[in-house]
Structure 1
Amino acid sequence: MHPILIVEDDENLAELYKQVLLKAGFQVHTAQSGTEALEQMKQTQLDLIITDVMMPEMDGNEFVSFLRKFENDLPILMITAKGTLEDKKIGFRSGIDDYMVKPIDVQEMVLRVEALLRRSRVNRDRAVTIGQTVLNQDQLFVSSETEMVELPNKEFQLLYKLLSNIDKIFTRHQLMNDIWGFESDTDERTVDVHIKRLRSRFSRNRDFEIITVRGLGYKAVAANEK
């Protein structure tokens, strides 16, 4: 079940979208503004966002721009009454992936959501395999040749992020934004603590290693690249 966040201040429309998406098999969360959406994102792992433009506190374009500023690459579908070419330019330049003009066909919305997920990295198998090590994102399990470990959520998400992007360097700031959220009060040293725990847990694992890139951050390497 892909978790989706609907950001829409019209309660009737939000409920309509929600029911249609629930019927299509998605897990659905709702927020009435960009500000409320950011709060929800601190607690919820998402696969896609649907947002309106005209909302209180923080409009849809500001919300999307804020997400992209922090390198969040979730697919975003914008549904709005603002349908001119200029409006669409503003939306796409803020970082959206698709655009629908109200009133919409809700079945077309479902098709577009499915298409965005197909094109997105989040629509791959929710397991990552490195050698004999398998990370199952639905159950937070890490299994290897000799053991199966259930990790706390943050440790799992951190390891999943690194092993999904072998050899890619992530700064502490990037990892904080992706795992703990943009506005988290948690200190970046928390990343170091979680990395230390992961290294300890998987010290005997022969499939991968988490490397410190001095002055930058961390990356994971596969066994044959150590």
Structure 2
Amino acid sequence: MAHILVVDDDPDILALLSEILQQSGHTLDVAENGNEALHILSQTPVALLITDIFMPEIDGIDLIANLLREYPQLPIIAMSGGYRAMNPQLTLRMASMFGAQEIISKPLLTSMVQQAVERTLQRTAKNNWP
């Protein structure tokens, strides 16, 4: 299976995604913000990155933009539940425009996460990444 980096500032979301992904046979690293994610990526190759959009320090949109420069072929799944008055679908469409291959709305459903990960990894395998 794949090594995945999950980025979210909510420990409950990190725990949920860790459980879902490990049950599916994946290994993973977790980061609480974009800075931590960039540090992990500089040390550890991953096959997929899943990131929240609204986080402290470096948010998901800035992280995605940074990743497109440094790791242009790294597949990305963006997730969001929105923020204050911001609609989560609008936020996720922005992430898609910035380069996320898949988008997931919170609250997360196990089947949605598994399907998005599998679709992304299948597309990635066809393109020989990583």
Is the alpha carbon distance of 1:43 and 1:19 closer, same or farther for their aligned partners in structure 2, counting shifts above 3 Å? Answer: same
The residue that corresponds to 1:29 in the other structure is 29
Tell me the amino acid that sits aligned with residue 44 of structure 2.
Answer: T
CA distance in 1, matches of 2:36, 2:91: 23
Could you list the per-position Cα deviations for residues 107-139 of structure 1 after superposition, in whole angstroms to 9, with x for gaps in the alignment? 220111011000014785x9xxxxxxxxxxxxx
What CA distance in whole angstroms lies between the structure 2 residues aligned with 1:95 and 1:86? 15
Consecutive unaligned residues of structure 2, counting only runs of 5 or more, are none
CA contact (8 A) 2:79 2:92 kept: no
Say if 1:47 and 1:122, in contact at 8 Å, map to a contact too. no
Distance 2:120 2:31 in 1: 21
Secondary structure of the structure 2 residue equivalent to 1:42: helix
Taking the aligned partners of 1:71 and 1:26, their CA distance within structure 2 comes to 21
Aligned to 1:113: 117
User: Where do residues 62-211 of structure 1 align in structure 2 (5 Å cutoff)?
Assistant: 62-82=62-82, 83-121=87-125
**For the aligned residues, what is the CA RMSD?**
2.0
Structure of greater Rg: 1
Q: Which amino acid aligns with 1:78?
A: A
Partners in 1 of 2:67 and 2:92 — Cα distance?
18
Residue identity (%): 29
Is this contact kept in 1: 2:80–2:91, CA < 8 A? no
Does the aligned pair in 2 maintain the 1:117–1:123 contact within 8 Å?
Answer: no
One-letter identity of the residue aligned with 1:47: A
Q: Give the Cα separation in 2 of the matches to 1:122 and 1:8.
A: 28
CA pair 51-122 structure 1, distance change in 2 beyond 3 A:
farther
Partner of 2:40: 40
Distance, in Å, in 1 between the alignment partners of 2:27 and 2:125 is 18
- Bigger Cα displacement from structure 2, 30-39 vs 67-76: 67-76
- 1:105–1:59 Cα change, 3 Å: same
The answer to whether the aligner puts 1:14 opposite 2:18 as a matched pair is no
**1:37 and 1:71 mapped to 2: Cα distance?**
12
Contact 1:48 1:75 in 2 (8 A): yes
Q: Which has the higher contact order (CA 8 A, sep 6+)?
A: 2
TM-score (norm. length: structure 1): 0.52
User: Judging changes above 3 Å, is the alpha-carbon distance between structure 1 residues 122 and 46 closer, same or farther for their aligned structure 2 residues?
Assistant: farther
Alignment coverage as a number of residue pairs: 126
